[in-house]
Structure 1
Amino acid sequence: SMLQMWTALTTMLLLLAAAVAAASGATTHGGCLPSCGGVDIPYPFGIGPGCFREGFEVECINSGPVLAGTPLRVVQLTLDPDESQVMLPIGWQCYNVSDPDDTYNNWDYGNTTMNKDGVYRISNTHNMLVVVGCNTVGFVASKRTEGGADASAFNTGCMSYCNNSASAQDGLCDGVGCCHVSIPPGLTDNYFNFREYDHSTMMEYSPCDYAFLVDRNNYTFRRSDLKMNTKRTSPVWLDWAIRGNSSISGDIPSCKQASKTDQYACVSTHSDCVDSTNGPGYNCKCSSGYQGDAYLPNGCTNSMFFLVNVLIVTITS
């Protein structure tokens, strides 16, 4: 009858809404906090003992999530794409008015270690390096190598110059007061440095040099940024992957290797393994037609298949 059809349709819409809400929300181990400060915390991330995979711990501090062991505030965590957005500090050095060549004890290179377990890489597809200042070269450096305190696998940066106080223009970041450059993949930590140049004639309008990583779509230069707050943070996307595996000594597994071990992370049925595109390791995705959390047993579900079955049962009953 028409009433049965209407009841079935209403039921299906309600179930669809519930399924969409469940799929968009966090999926966690039972008894674990599903969110903190309005941010979903899906497994393998988690808060508290037994709630996270090694390297993926999040702490809920002052009603907001941070990457465990760091001051980095988490804005967003997603499973597909495998990304997290955090707020990273900027690097800066400010010159001395009485001695413009002196930056001693007046700098902070924004050095932030967030990779104790090697989970994160700074996304080269989503972020850029920005250097702000007049007469400066700023650069971001990769994680220190075994070659010594000043040895890095690579540096990448750009130069910014000004002829006078009116040179820099709002909205333009092309080498006058502000420059930007793409970053390579594989960047593991946040660390900036500068080459020092004479600032004696520009202390009034450009007393400092600044460098920071930022979401490509989340920064527009303003001339006022030549005197920006050194406590500023910027939104940066991190790529994450399953990179550690105690069963493979000294090796970070690919999908093919990991699937043969008891550490394999893609535990849900209807899940697929994908090798990481930024650094070694792999990620887990729900198979086509399924959604949810591939890192949990039975985490990938086919809500549409379930709804069609409910609809058929409802109509025929």
Structure 2
Amino acid sequence: GCYFHFAAMPTAFLLPAVLLAAAAAAATTEATKNLVVTRGCVTSCGGVDIPYPFGIGSGCFRKGFEIECINNSPVLAGTSIHVVHLSGDPAESLVMLPVGWQCYNTSSPDKVEASSHGETEMNKHGVYRLSNTHNMLVILGCNTMGNIGSVRTTRDVDEYSYYMGCMTFCNYSATAQDGLCASVGCCHVDIPPGLTHNYFYFRVYDHTGMMDFSPCDYAFLVDRTNYTFRRSDLLRDTNRTSPVWLDWAIRGDDDSTSLSCAEAAKATTTEYACVSNHSDCVNATNGPGYNCRCSKGYQGNAYLVNGCSNIDECADPAKYPCKGVCRDTEGSYQCTCGPGYGSDDPKTQRCTPKFPLAAQICIEIVPVGLI
């Protein structure tokens, strides 16, 4: 048909994470949300949509993408990692990860009384990478040096290929300022791509004279848009979790068995993930492997047979402008001017009459007998 368009978390982190997930979900089209595996498969848990290749229950997920629904709360299978949002395009997941910490002994502030490395193992089948574009590493404390290790080497179970960290210091609590994470009570660093999990650790420094305002050291990954330092964070709860984005891709169990698009297209039909018509394969940007997306002019789930459907651009003039007559076509749309009207670009410029005003007036007043 034709359309005419005329110009005219626990605690502090939980709510921001939910709002962030809601914003991400709002960007997902209705077609994408509805195209999920339906033959007996659970399609949501705790208000979180579970789009394929993710799934709950046998036969409902691709290897490595299993989600468990425990007490109406989605978690990465085999872990306690809570899932807030799952997205097919972009290929991202928002999860809540634990914080690493060490707390000093009140009577002997040069000694650590208790600690946790906040370690997460989420890559049994290698599909996830910690997003380097969305996340940052944050270290909190006074007289504190914190680090993260990731990607174990084959030489030693406690040896990692990646190490990064920073140091903070403050003589007294007032020197740390709300909103400022610049090595006084708080420091942060970017993380590189390729990180498969995290393991936090600290140097031990004497905390004499600091126990009232900085009894513990903290380290955590967090969505960079979802954390602002507050001086009160120096006394934060060690059980808090933080929102972290994961990048995912179709990969093998390790880097050596992961395929690029060119390699995957030669694989058997059951192995190749981009099964929908009008879908494209794109190489992963964080680690090896590939992702699938619907071709331009289509929307939906490229991981499902017939999962990509034509977009009716004429029904969304805000995204697909047309100042004249809009006609939807397969994979695209046409925008033209009506009879007697013209425009250099009817998608962005309104259509105007082809005849000058004087000619229009003459046509209107010509005597009937002369026609």
TM-score greater than 0.5 by the shorter chain: yes
CA contact (8 A) 2:100 2:116 kept: yes
Q: Summarize the Cα distance change of 1:152–1:250 in structure 2 as closer, same or farther, 3 Å threshold.
A: closer
Other-structure match for 2:85: 76
Other-structure match for 1:98: 107
- The Cα offsets for residues 217-242 of structure 1, whole Å up to 9 and x where unpaired, read as 00011111101100000000000000
CA contact (8 A) 1:134 1:176 kept: yes
Q: CA deviation at 1:29?
A: 4.2
- The Cα offsets for residues 58-105 of structure 1, whole Å up to 9 and x where unpaired, read as 00111111100010110000011100000000000000011112215x
- What does 1:172-251 correspond to in 2, within 5 Å? 172-244=180-252, 250-251=256-257
Which entry has the higher C-alpha Rg, 1 or 2? Answer: 2
State the distance in 2 between where 1:298 and 1:177 align.
53
Residue 312 of structure 2 aligns to a residue whose secondary structure is helix
CA contact (8 A) 1:29 1:43 kept: no
32, 49, 54: which one aligns with 1:23: 32
- The Cα offsets for residues 21-76 of structure 1, whole Å up to 9 and x where unpaired, read as 23344522422111111111000000000000000000011111110001011000
Residue 172 of structure 2 aligns to a residue whose secondary structure is coil
162, 173, 181: which one aligns with 1:154: 162
State the distance in 2 between where 1:76 and 1:288 align.
24
Q: Summarize the Cα distance change of 1:306–1:258 in structure 2 as closer, same or farther, 3 Å threshold.
A: farther
CA contact (8 A) 1:269 1:297 kept: yes
Residue 285 of structure 1 aligns to a residue whose secondary structure is strand
CA contact (8 A) 1:129 1:157 kept: yes
Other-structure match for 1:312: none
CA contact (8 A) 2:126 2:251 kept: yes
Paired letter, 2:180: L
User: What are the ranges of 5 or more consecutive residues in structure 2 without an aligned counterpart?
Assistant: 5-27, 316-327, 330-371
Q: Summarize the Cα distance change of 1:26–1:218 in structure 2 as closer, same or farther, 3 Å threshold.
A: farther
Q: TM-score, normalised by structure 2?
A: 0.75
CA contact (8 A) 1:267 1:297 kept: yes
Residue 164 of structure 2 aligns to a residue whose secondary structure is strand
State the distance in 1 between where 2:34 and 2:213 align.
47
149, 152, 157: which one aligns with 1:144: 152
Residue 154 of structure 1 aligns to a residue whose secondary structure is strand
Residue 257 of structure 1 aligns to a residue whose secondary structure is helix
Other-structure match for 1:313: none
Matched, 1:51 2:60: yes
Paired letter, 2:104: Y
CA contact (8 A) 1:121 1:186 kept: yes
State the distance in 2 between where 1:51 and 1:297 align.
14
State the distance in 2 between where 1:145 and 1:28 align.
38
Q: TM-score, normalised by structure 1?
A: 0.87
CA contact (8 A) 1:290 1:302 kept: yes
Matched, 1:272 2:280: yes
Residue 153 of structure 1 aligns to a residue whose secondary structure is strand
Other-structure match for 2:341: none
State the distance in 2 between where 1:43 and 1:303 align.
20
Q: How many residues align?
A: 293
47, 51, 56: which one aligns with 1:42: 51
Residue 201 of structure 2 aligns to a residue whose secondary structure is strand
- Displacement over 3 Å in runs of 4+: 305-309
Considering only aligned residues, what root-mean-square deviation do their CA atoms show, in Å?
A: 2.3
Other-structure match for 1:122: 130
- The Cα offsets for residues 247-293 of structure 1, whole Å up to 9 and x where unpaired, read as xx952110111111111100111000000010000000000000000
Paired letter, 1:48: G
State the distance in 2 between where 1:26 and 1:89 align.
32
Residue 60 of structure 1 aligns to a residue whose secondary structure is strand
